[in-house]
Amino acid sequence: MSETPLNPADLRDQAVGLRLHGLLAHWSEVMADADAARRIAQWLRWETDERGRRSLERRLREAHIGQFKPVADFDWSWPKRIDRAAIEELMTLQFMTDATNVVLVGGTGCGKTWLACALAQQAARQGFSVLYTRATRLLQELQVAHGDGSFARRLAQLARLDVLVLDDLAIAPIAAQERQDLLELLDDRVGNRSTLITSQLPSSAWHAWLAEPTIADAIMDRLLHGSHTIALKGESLRRAKPQA
pLDDT at 5: 61
How many Cα atoms within 13 Å fall on the side-chain side of residue 85? 0
Exposed, middle or buried: residue 156 (CB in 10 Å: 0-12, 13-18, 19+)? exposed
Distance (Å, rounded) from C-alpha 35 to C-alpha 40? 9
State the CB neighbour count (10 A cutoff) for residue 40. 21
Angle at 117 between CA 89 and CA 84, to 5 degrees: 30
Cβ proximity of 48 and 25 under 8 Å:
no
- Predicted confidence (pLDDT) per residue in 199-237, tens digit: 999 999 999 999 999 999 999 999 999 999 998 876 665
Look at residues 239, 243, 244, 203 and name the one whose alpha carbon lies nearest to residue 109: 239
Exposed, middle or buried: residue 99 (CB in 10 Å: 0-12, 13-18, 19+)? middle
Q: Which distant-in-sequence residues (6+ apart) come within 8 Å of 119 by Cβ?
A: 71, 90, 91, 93, 102, 163, 196
- Predicted confidence (pLDDT) per residue in 166-207, tens digit: 999 999 999 999 999 999 999 999 999 999 999 999 999 999
Q: If you write DSSP's letter for every residue of 195-228 in order, what string do you get?
A: EEEEESS-GGGHHHHH--HHHHHHHHHHHHTT-E
pLDDT exceeds 70 at position 4: no
Look at residues 128, 215, 228, 132 and name the one whose alpha carbon lies nearest to residue 177: 215
Radius of gyration over alpha carbons of the chain, in Å? 23
This prediction has a pTM of: 0.73
Q: Grade residue 238 by pLDDT with cuts at 50, 70 and 90.
A: low
Cα 36 to its chain centre, rounded Å, is 41
Whole-number percent of the chain with pLDDT over 90: 49
Backbone dihedral angles phi then psi of residue 234, each to the nearest 5 degrees: 150, 170
